[in-house]
Structure 1
Amino acid sequence: MKKISILLLLCGAIFFTACKEKTIAQEVRVLTPQEFKDSIENNPEIQLLDVRTPEEFAEGHLVDAENINVMESEFLTKVEKLDPEKPVYLYCRSGRRSAKASALLKEAGFKEIYDLQGGFLEWESNGYKAEN
């Protein structure tokens, strides 16, 4: 009986530790264009990512955004250069690719991830500034 109790205790500790490690990253927060705009304007510590193709990026992007295409096989290698302790704000054209990128960043251990609801299309439809 004593051995079973010790075994259960150890299994519980291992399970708790494994679950705790998986919850290091927060849930991804999806922000409206207004919330996104307010956040990136008032936070110099952010890392702003445009996860679209280089061609889409060249047609227009948010000021100070870095382009790392989520569809490239080197996406994870390129985001390793970012600081997982600093907030990451990301967007794509409509929100699908940024959702994929958010999941990859979360899996890679990034702690604060913010996704632009509706992507660049929604940003522009609200009349916010973009660079070409």
Structure 2
Amino acid sequence: MNLSQNDWTSQLKDDNNAIILDVRTQEEWSEGIIPGAILNDIYKGQGFIYRLEELDKTKNYYVYCKAGGRSAQACSVMNQMGFENTYNLEGGFMNWQGDVAFTEEN
């Protein structure tokens, strides 16, 4: 499901079962992240799938990338794999108005 920046943020804030998933590259990750996000680079192909298989499908996943395209694709893949609740951040990180964290870890 695609959510606007405001809807994504407000829904996430009230969600006790939320996981934030960043599907950008490591280089993009190092430029700043939405606090609490975990990295799973969609460009890793099968590696991306393997990491998805390790995740708890009962959680609610708030997914973002730079502009919203890769994260929409990631949500589609996740839905096909049995993830019921995936939320794509429309406009992605480049339009993000919330807090930003900087980390070298993923």
Does the pair score TM above 0.5?
yes
Aligned positions of 1:61-76 closer than 5 A: 61-73=33-45, 74-76=47-49
2:95 and 2:78 map into 1 onto residues whose CA distance is 22
Match status 1:106 vs 2:79: yes
Q: Structure 2: which 5+ runs fail to align?
A: none
1:37 and 1:96 map into 2 onto residues whose CA distance is 18
Secondary structure of 1:83's aligned partner: coil
Aligned positions of 1:1-132 closer than 5 A: 29-73=1-45, 74-123=47-96, 127-132=97-102
Higher relative contact order (CA 8 A, sep 6+): 2
Runs of at least 4 residues of structure 1 off by over 3 A? none
TM-score by length of 2: 0.90
Number of paired residues? Answer: 101
1:71 and 1:100 map into 2 onto residues whose CA distance is 11
Identity %: 32
Q: Structure 1: which 5+ runs fail to align?
A: 1-28
User: What are the Cα deviations for residues 62-89 of structure 1, in whole angstroms up to 9, with x where unaligned?
Assistant: 0000000011020010011111121111
2:21 and 2:53 map into 1 onto residues whose CA distance is 13
TM-score by length of 1: 0.73
Bigger helix share: 1
Q: CA deviation at 1:122?
A: 1.5
Secondary structure of 1:104's aligned partner: helix
Q: CA deviation at 1:44?
A: 2.2
Bigger strand share: 2
